[in-house]
């Protein structure tokens, strides 16, 4: 059971057995393919699980049961939905720009894949460990907005275009707050590398060690990342009552499924980053100095800690969506530029002062 606590046993074992039979370059190629397939499987599973979770959570918030017919408690409902989506006819407007129309879903998916590659899932289970980890993730996730803009423009539909413009303005604005709230913690860690950030939380998570500043940063991160993933109450890019479905109005079948999947994948990515930076990633709940307590916590494998924390943040985001009413576009931009951004900048200053005086734990 050692591999459950440290995945480098597993990954190292695969690497060694491959190295015995192949040349180094072939080994790299095989490992790249293996990692790619693993991420694709994770992507598919995430889609299935999160769509089901969203429907169940929304149902419970509205005092309904949600999907109950397909499988026990409706667990096979999303599988049935997938089959339905695969069988749908892919439609396109006559005047649509077919090249960009088909390209847009892939750009969004590629951005999500590239961001996911840098996430640390458990000890030793980490595909890319750059020393610029957080910078890299925010760089590649900023590519997703291009897919949304292209989708809106190439559909030749005014609802799509308005939805894309709203979405673009929203994502570009809120990217700032996401980046700055993460920087607040980077001030404490002194590193952008995910593995170092996690190691630095071995004696307590930053949200507890970083005083009130870290809590403020976490709240700002939650708000801004909910907005960045175009989820309610910030889903005015696809406001059903005004814009039918926003930028993906004209998409059907598998291409629609890609947008849908990318939304949930992005939700998972921002939750994973939040969990890693603020809540210690796969690091178990430790309190500095309590050796016995820490040892008991270490019995729970890191991968369960990681997915537990991510599920917690995802639940928070679903809670937002089904609790708050949707914002108007001017309210949305006011919230970002007049409230979140100034608070964020002040918060970084306070955090830098705390770090300089060594007042954090």
Partner 1 sequence: METSAILFYTIATIMIVFSLLAVTASKILRAAVFLLFALGGTAGIYFMVDYFFLAAVQLIVYAGGIVVLIIFSILLTSHIEEKMQKPDIWKIILTSIIGFAGATMSIHVITNHVFTPHADTGVVASMDVIGEKLMNYGDSGYVLPFEVISILLLAAMVGAIVVAKRNKPGSND
Which residues are at the interface with partner 1 (CB under 8 A)?
25, 28-29, 95-97, 99-100, 103, 130-132, 135-136, 138-140, 142-143, 145-146, 149-150, 152-154, 156, 161, 164-165, 168, 172, 190-193
Give me the residues paired with residue 120 across strands. Answer: 126
Task: Between 158 and 328, name the residue whose CB sits nearer to partner 1.
Answer: 158
Taking the complex as a whole, how short is the minimal distance between the CB of residue 157 and partner 1, in angstroms?
10
Task: Between 48 and 118, name the residue whose CB sits nearer to partner 1.
Answer: 118
Virtual torsion, Cα 302, 308, 314, 320, nearest 10 deg: -140
Taking the complex as a whole, how short is the minimal distance between the CB of residue 236 and partner 1, in angstroms?
17
Give the SS3 label for residue 121. strand
Task: Between 79 and 329, name the residue whose CB sits nearer to partner 1.
Answer: 329
Task: Between 42 and 100, name the residue whose CB sits nearer to partner 1.
Answer: 100
Taking the complex as a whole, how short is the minimal distance between the CB of residue 135 and partner 1, in angstroms?
5
| CA–CA gap between residue 321 and residue 273 (Å, rounded) | 20
Helix %, strand %, coil % of the chain (to 5): 75, 0, 25
Task: Between 44 and 172, name the residue whose CB sits nearer to partner 1.
Answer: 172
Taking the complex as a whole, how short is the minimal distance between the CB of residue 131 and partner 1, in angstroms?
5
Task: Between 78 and 170, name the residue whose CB sits nearer to partner 1.
Answer: 170
Distances (CA, A) of 236 to 104, 163, 328: 20, 8, 7
| CA–CA gap between residue 217 and residue 238 (Å, rounded) | 28
Taking the complex as a whole, how short is the minimal distance between the CB of residue 48 and partner 1, in angstroms?
30
Taking the complex as a whole, how short is the minimal distance between the CB of residue 273 and partner 1, in angstroms?
15
Distances (CA, A) of 322 to 56, 57, 59, 210, 232: 11, 9, 9, 30, 7
Taking the complex as a whole, how short is the minimal distance between the CB of residue 27 and partner 1, in angstroms?
11
Burial environment of residue 117 by CB neighbours within 10 A (0 to 12, 13 to 18, 19 or more):
middle
| CA–CA gap between residue 117 and residue 119 (Å, rounded) | 6
| CA–CA gap between residue 20 and residue 62 (Å, rounded) | 57
Q: Tokens 């005015």: give the residue.
A: 236
Distances (CA, A) of 164 to 168, 205, 230, 239, 245: 6, 38, 11, 11, 10
| CA–CA gap between residue 153 and residue 96 (Å, rounded) | 9
Taking the complex as a whole, how short is the minimal distance between the CB of residue 190 and partner 1, in angstroms?
8
Task: Between 103 and 333, name the residue whose CB sits nearer to partner 1.
Answer: 103
Task: Between 125 and 150, name the residue whose CB sits nearer to partner 1.
Answer: 150
Taking the complex as a whole, how short is the minimal distance between the CB of residue 353 and partner 1, in angstroms?
17
How crowded is residue 295: how many other Cβ atoms within 10 Å of its Cβ?
Answer: 11
Task: Between 48 and 151, name the residue whose CB sits nearer to partner 1.
Answer: 151
Task: Between 48 and 197, name the residue whose CB sits nearer to partner 1.
Answer: 197
Q: Across the chain, which distance is largest between two alpha carbons, in Å? A: 68
| CA–CA gap between residue 42 and residue 13 (Å, rounded) | 21
Distances (CA, A) of 153 to 54, 159, 246, 263, 329: 29, 10, 11, 19, 19
Taking the complex as a whole, how short is the minimal distance between the CB of residue 191 and partner 1, in angstroms?
7
């Amino acid at each position: 059971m050692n591999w459950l606590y440290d995945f480098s046993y597993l990954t190292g074992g695969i690497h060694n057995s491959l190295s015995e039979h192949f040349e180094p370059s072939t080994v790299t190629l095989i490992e790249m393919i293996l990692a790619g397939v693993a991420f694709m499987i994770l992507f598919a599973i995430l889609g299935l699980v999160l769509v089901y979770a969203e429907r169940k959570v929304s149902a419970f918030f509205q005092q309904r049961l949600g999907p109950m017919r397909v499988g026990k408690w409706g667990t096979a409902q999303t599988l049935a939905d997938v089959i339905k989506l695969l069988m749908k006819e892919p439609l396109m407007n006559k005047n649509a720009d077919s090249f960009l129309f088909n390209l847009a879903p892939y750009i969004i998916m590629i951005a999500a894949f590239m961001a996911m590659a840098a996430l640390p899932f458990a000890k030793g289970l980490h595909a890319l460990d750059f020393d610029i980890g957080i910078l890299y993730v925010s760089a590649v996730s900023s590519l997703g907005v291009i897919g949304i803009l292209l989708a809106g423009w190439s559909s030749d539909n005014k609802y799509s275009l308005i939805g894309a413009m709203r979405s673009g303005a929203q994502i570009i604005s809120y990217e700032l707050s996401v980046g700055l709230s993460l920087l607040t913690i980077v001030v404490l860690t002194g590193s952008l590398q995910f593995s170092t950030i996690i190691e630095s939380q071995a004696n307590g998570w930053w949200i507890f060690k970083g005083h009130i500043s870290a809590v403020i940063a976490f709240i700002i991160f939650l708000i801004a990342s909910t907005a960045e993933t175009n989820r309610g109450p910030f889903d005015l890019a696809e406001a059903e009552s005004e814009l039918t479905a926003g930028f993906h109005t004209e998409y059907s079948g598998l291409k629609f499924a890609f947008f849908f999947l990318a939304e949930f994948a992005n939700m998972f990515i921002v939750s994973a980053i939040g969990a890693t930076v603020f809540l210690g990633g796969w690091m178990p709940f430790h309190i500095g100095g309590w050796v016995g307590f820490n040892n008991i916590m270490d019995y729970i494998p890191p991968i369960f800690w990681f997915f537990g924390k991510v599920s917690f943040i995802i639940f928070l985001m679903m809670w937002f969506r089904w609790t708050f009413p949707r914002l108007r576009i001017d309210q949305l931009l006011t919230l970002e530029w007049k409230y979140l951004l100034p608070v964020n900048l002040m918060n970084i200053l306070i955090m830098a002062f705390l770090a300089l005086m060594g007042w954090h734990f």
